[in-house]
Structure 1
Amino acid sequence: MHIDAIINQIYPLPPHTLQLLKTQVSEVSHPKGHILLRANRVEQVMYFIKKGIVRAYSEYEDNEITFWFGKEGDPVLSMKSYVLKEKGYEHIELLEDCELYEIEVAQLEALFHQDIHIANWGRRLAEKELIKTEERFISRQCRTATERYKELMNESPHLLQRVQLGHIASYLGITQVSLSRIRAEIR
């Protein structure tokens, strides 16, 4: 996905402002398995996925709990680092070879002070990420595992072809055996 489309899906910017923001963006590539962001660090960089799939996970009692997947067009950042300048709680792992757009948070913040459109864009980015988090939380609390799997099938079918079942089971809050049973029942 092209950076112009990614930026404008968050909050459309006037052409001159879009160009100003893009001056701070660079392209990077990393291989599958690379840890892009690490827990217990204040992350200084945010990314947008040009190509590839990533997952966010936290470690708990020697387990990795996947709580988010990112795909083409999605932002990748530690919200706690971005908003509060505090250490994040998540690791971000690349599940495929990825092409990413990268921007340093300090440079972005300088642009917030320079251009009201970019400041509004940054606010809109945070608002949209908050809504996505609320939706995941509500789904996890109010739906059965089967309902969550069906929702994933309907809203993100590409994940089922591109992500290991163990990560999907963790994301759904169930074991891989339970996921296999649910998939068999649905067929």
Structure 2
Amino acid sequence: MDNFNVEDIKCHEMLSSEGIEKIKSILSEVHYPKGHLLMKSDVYERDAYIIKKGIIRSYIIKDGKDISFWFARERDIISSSIGYAFQKKGYENYELLEDSILYRINTDKLKNFYKTDLELANWARNITEIEAIKAEKRFLSYMFTTPLERYLELLENDTELLQRVPLKEIASYIGISAVSLSRIRARIK
């Protein structure tokens, strides 16, 4: 893979040159346009992806409405959690919000590395721990803050997300309608 950059890999500093080469050996670069549905709910997704360039929203459909619950961007790893862990159909959808370049991961080969390579197993565990903490923080935010507080948190700490993601998806992500988000934005200007 000619365009591979180790900086695209989360926690790459944990990996030796040999570990990086092993990871590189199970990746293939793919390009998809904005709007592409990378993964669909109720499908057993076997591949995982690392985002080289782009942003992806993860959402579920509830009562006919899309509910965004996560945005992934450069260096994030995308996979159907249930598909990856239990080889079952997932519940989530992943839609590209920008033209994107991804590294497709052969997860069967990756899991085989885990069985024989402690370095790669620890690398994956470290990433899983980081993502679990992020998920817990998102959950606690929904439990203990208002939509206004969640929006102000994004304004303060993640303006890049606000610039790259349509406002209707931001509204869904913080748990309100687009109209309610417009009212919040008008009130804080």
Task: Quickly name the TM-score band, shorter chain normalised.
Answer: over 0.9
Distance 2:94 2:32 in 1: 12
Match of 2:24 in 1: 22
Could you tell me how far apart the structure 2 residues matched to 1:8 and 1:139 are?
Answer: 24
Residue of structure 2 equivalent to 1:46? 48
Q: Separation in 2 of the partners of 1:56 and 1:3?
A: 25
1:6 shift after superposition: 3.7
Does the residue aligned with 2:57 lie in a helix, a strand or coil? strand
Which one of 92, 95, 119 corresponds to residue 94 of structure 2? 92
1:62 to 57, 64, 79: 64
State the partner residue of 1:146: 148
Alignment of 1:85-164 (within 5 A): 85-164=87-166
Matched residue of 1:96: which SS? coil
SS in 1 for 2:61: strand
Three-state SS of the structure 2 residue aligned to 1:28 is: strand
What amino acid does structure 2 have at the position aligned with 1:43? E
**Percent same amino acid among aligned pairs?**
44
CA contact under 8 A between 1:3 and 1:101: conserved in structure 2?
no
Question: Which of 73, 82, 85 does residue 84 from structure 2 map onto?
Answer: 82
Distance 2:16 2:104 in 1: 21
Q: Structure 1 11/142 Cα, relative in aligned 2: closer, same or farther at 3 Å? A: farther
Deviations 1:85-134 (A, max 9, x none): 22111000000100011102111101111211111112222222211111
Give the drift of 1:65. 0.5
For residues 113 and 92 of structure 1, the distance between their equivalents in structure 2, rounded to whole angstroms, comes to 29
SS in 1 for 2:44: coil
Tell me, in whole angstroms, the C-alpha distance in 2 between the residues paired with 1:61 and 1:33: 22
Question: In structure 2, do the counterparts of structure 1 residues 99 and 4 end up closer, same or farther at CA, with 3 Å as the change threshold?
Answer: same
1:125–1:38 distance in 2 versus 1, CA, 3 Å: same
Deviations 1:20-41 (A, max 9, x none): 1111111100000100011112
Q: Secondary structure at the match of 1:32?
A: coil
**Runs of at least 4 residues off by over 4 Å:** none
Query: Aligned to 2:135, what secondary structure does the other structure show?
Result: helix
Residue identity matched to 1:76: I
Q: State the partner residue of 2:181.
A: 179
Q: Is the 8 A contact 1:11 1:121 kept in 2?
A: no
Aligned to 2:35, the other structure's residue is in SS state: coil
Q: Is the CA contact 1:58–1:66 (under 8 Å) kept in the aligned structure 2?
A: yes
- CA distance in 1 between counterparts of 2:7 and 2:142 reads 30
TM-score by length of structure 2 reads 0.93
Unaligned 5+ segments in structure 1 are none
